[in-house]
Amino acid sequence: MTTAQYGAVAVEPFGDSAVMVTIPHADQAIRRAAIVAFRDRFLAHRPPGVLDVVSGLESLLVEFDPLRTALQHVEYAVRLVARWAPSDGPSPGRTVRAFTVPVVFDGEYGPDLASVAEELGLTPAEVIEAIGESTFTIALLGAAMAPMMDGLKVPRPVRRRAEPRTDVVPGSVMIAGTNAIIQPFPGPTGWRVVGRTPHTIVDISRPDPVSFGPGDVVRFTPVTRDEAAALDAGFLLPTEEAV
């Protein structure tokens, strides 16, 4: 491990062509924020031979070409960058943006809303209120560039579905644990579907195809179907720079 301003960085070999970087801190929020800060700094100073950087909620997998560099060189680069990493806030050069996402919460658009409420000992209206009062931070872009975010404030973590859904429509807002995610494209998921936004969040025809980036801040706002239809919603854009 090596000490950084936000704590300690653990670097472990992962096979013969990758290393796994984690933040062994007791506070989950610090672990997640610190790995985002480290990732941004590492990408800005990406050493030769590194092929890919794969983000997890609390880890970073650094893959490299063993014909161009060696394990010990990558480990050294990781530790060197960790010592430079900022203590908090976004990396230099990237502005954190704030998004307000309108969501229709009802039985059709949110087929798991009632079961989530029952699990948490709340009413569906109280679950919607909890989601609307939560402030989410984008931790990473997952499969198909889906934004995975932290910050759901509910009495206990929400379980995933025992039997995944096979075809969830784009725009579906889903929760699991204390996280939320928006489905960019049709596909399967084990997350609990609680609502749907009329906005598009990934459009590969655009120069910048993804609405969000890691570190951005998201608030969900409940709307009715009529209000959603009146929005004439297209590609989701930020409402402002986050303070």
Cα 164 from Cα 191, distance rounded (Å): 7
Residue 181, pLDDT score: 96
- At residue 141 the predicted structure's pLDDT band, cuts being 50, 70 and 90, is confident
Residue 87, pLDDT score: 46
Alpha-helix runs per DSSP H in 1-155: 28-44, 71-84, 113-120, 124-133
Q: What is the pLDDT of residues 172-208, one digit of tens each?
A: 999 999 999 999 999 999 999 999 999 999 998 999 8
- At residue 5 the predicted structure's pLDDT band, cuts being 50, 70 and 90, is very low
- Coil, strand or helix at 41: helix
Just give the CATH number of 2-84: 3.30.1360.40
pLDDT of 106 > 90? The answer is yes
Residue 134, pLDDT score: 97
Rg over alpha carbons for the chain, rounded to the nearest Å, is 19
How does DSSP classify residue 186? S
Helix (H) or strand (E) holding 10: strand 7-13
Residue 142, pLDDT score: 77
- The DSSP bridge partners found for residue 22 are 10, 59
Whether 97-241 and 2-84 are alike in CATH topology: the answer is no
Domain limits, the chain: 2-84, 97-241
Place of tokens 């204390």: 178
Q: What is the pLDDT of residues 20-72, one digit of tens each?
A: 999 888 887 788 878 878 888 888 888 899 998 888 878 888 999 999 999 99
The domain covering 97-241 belongs, at the CATH homologous superfamily level, to Cyclophilin-like (2.40.100.10)
39 residue type, one letter:
R
